[in-house]
Amino acid sequence: MKIKLHLLCIPLVLVMIFSGQFAYYAIILLSLLWHEAGHLIAALLCKVKVKSCVITPYGGEIQFENPAVVQASSLLWIALGGPIATIIGIGLAFFMPELLAAKLMGVQLVLLAINIMPIIPLDGGRIFLAWLFLNYPSTLVVENYYWLSFIVATLLFLVTLCFLPQAIFLAIIMLFIWLQALKEWHYRKYRLAFEKYVTKRLT
C-alpha cells in the first residue's frame, strides 16, 4: 500500500510556515494521519485490500485494489472509520497537557465537523451516498445528490473567501473540497454506472 501527500497540502504547509504556525500545522498533519488511520484500520478489519492512501487537507482518499468486490457494508464501516478515529482523538486530548490538548481538540473538532457534512467527497457524503443506493436505487435521485453536493461545496468555498485573510486555512480546505466535488460531478455518470453495478452484486 502506498501513502502519498496531496499536492494541495503544499500551499497549506507554506501558509503555516510563513505565518509562524508550523507547530500548529504539525498538529493538523498528525490529526489527518490519525483520521486516515481510522479508515485503514476499518478496511483491515473488513478484510478489504487498500491500493493507496492519499493524505488531503481534510482527511484522505483511499483507493481499493479491487473495488468491485468490496461489500456495501464494508464501504459503510470504512467511511465511518475516520470520524470514529477523530472522536477517539478528541477523547484522548483530555488526558494531554492543557496547552496541547486545547489546540489538538480544536483541530479535531474542525476536522470532524467538516468530514461529517453529507456532501461528496467527504465521509458524510460517502455514507449518505451508500444509504441512497440501498434505499433509493434511482439514478435520478443519486445524480441530484451529486448536483447538490457540488452546489453546497461551491457556496461553502465562496463564503470562506469573504473572511480572508483570517480564514486562509479554511479557504484552502474548502477549495480542495470544491475541486474534488467538481471532479466527482464531472465523472458522475461513470461512477453511477459502476456503483449501481456493484450495489446490485453485493447487496
- pLDDT 10s digits, 15-55: 666 665 667 777 888 888 898 899 999 999 999 988 888 87
Question: pLDDT category, 187, cuts 50, 70, 90?
Answer: confident
Examine the pLDDT at 203 and tell me if it is beyond 50: no
Q: What mean pLDDT comes out for the span 160-182?
A: 82
Task: Indicate the length of the chain as a whole number.
Answer: 203
Count up the domains in the chain and report the number: 1
- Residue 110 has a pLDDT of 86
- Residue 71 has a pLDDT of 76
Per the model's pLDDT, the better-predicted residue between 137 and 105 turns out to be 105
- Residue 29 has a pLDDT of 80
- CB 175 within 8 Å of CB 8: yes
Of all residues in the chain, the percent with pLDDT exceeding 90 is 18
Question: pLDDT category, 201, cuts 50, 70, 90?
Answer: very low
Question: pLDDT category, 202, cuts 50, 70, 90?
Answer: very low
Nearest to 165 by CA among 15, 9, 6, 25: 15
- Residue 44 has a pLDDT of 92
pTM here? 0.78
Q: What 3-state class would DSSP assign to 55?
A: strand
Report residue 123 as a C-alpha cell.
465521509
**Strands in 1-115 per DSSP E:** 2-5, 50-56, 59-64
In order of 22, 46, 69, 179, 197, the CA distances from 201 in angstroms are: 47, 18, 9, 31, 6
Structural domain of 99:
2-202
- Residue 10 has a pLDDT of 66
